[in-house]
């Protein structure tokens, strides 16, 4: 149940602001619940790019083939090699970054690299991380419709911040303990900017 103003001395405009702050904060919070989860997951993932691949599980497997390679061979020969190695990925394209070095791309992002002189190679298998892959994909604004929607979400974050100033009164509000939290929350990013 929505709280009501009990202090008759409270100005009408403050009652109005508090009432509509609660309504907007609540309804936008419900509406953007899913979007908040998306940006929380992708934000966490992208914060740790140095520590892990945020979108894929990556496994590396080495192989050695006795197949004899001559010159720049065609797709059919690559498919034959894939069959020999038991590679299940679907062929996409290939190229030769060096004369004796072949790189094959598979649909989905996995790759295969082969030293044509020695027959040694590696396969990098990529498997999408559930939820993280989709969240990161959306985080990079894949199309104009998502950009418009995420812009609205960005505006709602501004709205959450402003409405939170009017929702709580007294010692726990912005003129009391809440104000201390506000100041600390502003000072921390300023310190990071100054000392990093």
The helix-helix angle for 33-47 and 132-139 (nearest 10°) equals: 90
Q: What is the DSSP letter of 121?
A: E
Same domain, 65 and 17: no
pLDDT tens digit sequence for 123-181: 999 999 999 999 999 999 899 999 999 999 999 999 999 998 888 888 888 888 899 99
Same domain, 122 and 151: no
pLDDT tens digit sequence for 2-27: 444 455 677 888 888 888 999 999 99
- Phi first, then psi: give them for residue 124, nearest 5 degrees: -100, 110
Same domain, 154 and 101: no
The predicted structure's pLDDT at residue 32: 95
Position 78 in a domain: yes
Q: What is the pTM of this model?
A: 0.73
The predicted structure's pLDDT at residue 133: 94
Q: Note every long-range contact of 165-170, with CB atoms under 8 Å and residues 24 or more positions apart, other chains counting.
A: 165/21, 166/14, 166/17, 166/18, 166/21, 167/18, 167/21, 167/22, 167/25, 169/18
Give residue for tokens 């726990």: 172
Tally of structural domains, the chain: 2
Position 29 in a domain: yes
Q: Please check the confidence at residue 51 and state whether its pLDDT lies above 70.
A: yes
Same domain, 141 and 184: yes
Position 28 in a domain: yes
Position 152 in a domain: yes
Position 186 in a domain: yes
Among residues 70, 99, 128, which one ends one of the domains?
A: 128
The predicted structure's pLDDT at residue 172: 86
Same domain, 139 and 124: no
- Phi first, then psi: give them for residue 173, nearest 5 degrees: -85, -170
Position 1 in a domain: no
Same domain, 116 and 143: no
Tokens of 154: 């960005």
pLDDT tens digit sequence for 62-108: 999 887 766 566 788 888 888 988 888 999 999 888 888 889 999 98
Domain that includes residue 81, residue range: 56-128
Same domain, 108 and 159: no
Position 33 in a domain: yes
Helix (H, G, I), strand (E, B) or coil at 90: coil
Return the number of other C-beta atoms located less than 10 Å from residue 152's C-beta.
13
Same domain, 182 and 154: yes
Same domain, 188 and 160: yes
The predicted structure's pLDDT at residue 45: 92
Same domain, 191 and 138: yes
The predicted structure's pLDDT at residue 72: 60
Same domain, 135 and 123: no
Position 2 in a domain: no
Same domain, 146 and 190: yes
Average pLDDT over residues 39-61: 92
């Amino acid at each position: 149940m929505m709280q009501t103003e009990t202090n008759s001395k409270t100005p009408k405009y403050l009652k109005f602001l508090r009432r509509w702050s609660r309504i907007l904060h609540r309804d936008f919070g419900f509406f953007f619940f899913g979007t908040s989860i998306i940006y929380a997951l992708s934000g966490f993932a992208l914060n740790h790019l140095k520590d892990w691949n945020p979108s894929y599980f990556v496994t590396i497997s080495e192989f050695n083939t006795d197949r004899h390679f001559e010159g720049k061979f065609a797709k059919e020969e690559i498919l034959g090699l894939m069959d020999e190695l038991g590679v299940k990925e679907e062929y996409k394209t290939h190229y030769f970054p060096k004369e004796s070095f072949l790189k094959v791309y598979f649909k989905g992002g996995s790759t295969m690299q082969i030293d044509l002189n020695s027959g040694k190679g590696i396969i990098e298998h990529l498997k999408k991380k559930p939820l993280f892959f989709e969240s990161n994909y959306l985080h990079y604004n894949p199309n104009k419709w998502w950009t418009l929607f995420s812009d609205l979400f960005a505006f709602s974050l501004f709205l959450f911040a402003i409405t939170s100033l009017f929702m709580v009164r007294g010692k726990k509000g912005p003129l009391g303990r809440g104000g201390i939290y506000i100041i600390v929350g502003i000072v921390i990013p300023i310190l990071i900017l100054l000392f990093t």
